[in-house]
Amino acid sequence: MDEKYSSILKSVQKPGRYSGGEYGQTIKDLSDGRVKARFAFCFPDTYEIGMSNLGVRILYGALNREEDIWCERAYAPWADMEEKMIEHDMPLCALESGDPLSMFDIVGFTLQYEMCYTNVLQMLKLAKIPLKSADRTNDQPIIIGGGPCSYNPEPLADFFDCFSIGEGEDMLVEFTKLLIEEKAKGNFDRQEFLHYAATKIKGLYVPSLYEVTYKEDGTIGSFGPIYPDVPKRVTKRIMKDMDKAYFPDKVVMPYIETVQDRIMLEVYRGCIRGCRFCQAGMIYRPVREKTPEVLCRQAKCLYENTGYDEISLSSLSISDYTEIEKLTTKLLEWTDDKKVNLSLPSLRVDSFTKELMEKIASVRSSSLTFAPEAGTQRLRDVINKNVREEDLFRAVGVAFDAGKTTVKLYFMNGLPTETADDLLGIPKLASDVVHQFYINPNRPKGKSPQVTISVACFVPKPFTPFQWERQDTVEELTEKNEYIYQNVTDRKVRYTHHDPKTSHIECVLARGDRRLCRALEEAANRGFHFDAWDEYFDYDKWVEVFEATGIDPAFYANRQWGFDEILPWDVIDCGVSKEFFRRERDRAYGEITTPSCREKCSGCGANKLGGERTCCPQA
| d(C-alpha 591, C-alpha 383), whole Å | 8
Q: Write the CB contacts of 350 (distance below 8 Å, at least 6 apart in sequence).
A: 386, 387, 388, 391, 395
Q: What is the pLDDT of residues 172-207, one digit of tens each?
A: 999 999 999 999 999 999 999 999 999 999 999 999
- Please check whether residue 148 is in contact with residue 114, taking contact to mean a CB–CB distance below 8 angstroms: no
613 pLDDT band, cuts 50/70/90, is very low
Give the CA radius of gyration of the chain: 24
Give the bridge partners for 214, in sequence order. Answer: 220
What is the pLDDT at residue 3? 77
| d(C-alpha 544, C-alpha 553), whole Å | 11
What is the pLDDT at residue 612? 45
| d(C-alpha 384, C-alpha 76), whole Å | 37
SS3 assignment, position 324: helix
For the chain, domains (ranges, CATH) are 3-235 (3.40.50.280), 240-360+592-619 (3.30.750.210)
Q: Tally the residues of the chain.
A: 619
Phi, psi (deg, nearest 5) at residue 221: -90, -40
Q: What is the pLDDT of residues 372-425, one digit of tens each?
A: 999 999 999 999 999 999 999 999 999 898 888 999 999 999 999 999 999 999
3-state secondary structure 254-317: CCCCCCCCCEEEECEECCCCCCCCCCHHHHCCCCEECCHHHHHHHHHHHHHHHCCCEEEEECCC
What is the pLDDT at residue 349? 84
For 69, 119, 415, the CA distances from 92, given in Å and listed in that order, are 21, 13, 41
* Residue 69 DSSP label: E
| pLDDT of 234 higher than 70 | yes
State the sign of the Cα–Cα–Cα–Cα dihedral 78, 79, 81, 85.
positive
Cα angle value 498/499/503 (rounded, 5°): 95
For the entire predicted model, the pTM comes to 0.95
- Please check whether residue 46 is in contact with residue 71, taking contact to mean a CB–CB distance below 8 angstroms: no
SS3 assignment, position 604: coil
Q: Give buried/exposed letters for 220-259 (b at 16+ CB in 10 A, else e).
A: beebebeeeebbeebbbbbbbebeebebbeebbbbeeebe
355 pLDDT band, cuts 50/70/90, is confident
Q: What is the pLDDT of residues 480-523, one digit of tens each?
A: 999 999 999 999 999 999 999 999 999 999 999 999 999 999 99
| pLDDT of 363 higher than 50 | no
SS3 assignment, position 18: coil
* Residue 544 DSSP label: H
DSSP characters over 419-480: -HHHHHHHHHHHHHHHHHHHH-TTSPTT---EEEEEEEEP---SSSTTTTPPPPPHHHHHHH
H or E element, residue 168:
none
State the sign of the Cα–Cα–Cα–Cα dihedral 544, 549, 550, 554.
negative
